[in-house]
Amino acid sequence: MRLFLLAFSIAVVSKELCLVHGDIGTATTYNPPYLPTACNGDRQDQFPPGNLFVAVSEGLWDNGAACGRRYRLRCLSGASRPCKHRTIDVKVVDICPKRPCPSTIAMSNDAFAAISHSHATKIIVEYIEI
């Protein structure tokens, strides 16, 4: 009986834990115009399908080496429970348009809407390079 209770307790606790596999940062949305970008100027073909792209802060920019990198993102938390329970894959196309950047990652409107119910807030995200 003790073994059953121990196994049951572990199952319940593990279901409630949210394991983090990547880095933790913040994300905001940024508005068009998205061109020109620091990575590929005025080229329309730089944007991935679904417009799931981001601009990154100086810390991730890496003197431009971030161009074309892909990250898997998910919303972890934010004000008024904004997170949708899904992950998305995004492509880096630019450095954050504001200095200093208000977040680790500035997401296109479409990318932000894919993981958050709210458009006017900063969210906490997990991100990992893929």
- State residue 56's pLDDT score: 98
* Exposed / middle / buried, residue 72 (Cβ in 10 Å: 0-12, 13-18, 19+): middle
The predicted structure's pLDDT at residue 104: 98
CATH number at residue 72: 2.40.40.10
- Tokens representing residue 22 in the block: 């990547």
pLDDT at 120: 73
Q: What is the mean pLDDT of residues 70-92?
A: 96
pLDDT of 72 higher than 60: yes
pLDDT of residue 100 exceeding 60, the answer is yes
**Count of domains forming the chain:** 1
Domain assignment present for residue 12? The answer is no
Read off the pTM. 0.83
- Domain range for residue 122? 20-129
Q: How confident is the model at residue 18 (pLDDT cuts 50, 70, 90)?
A: low
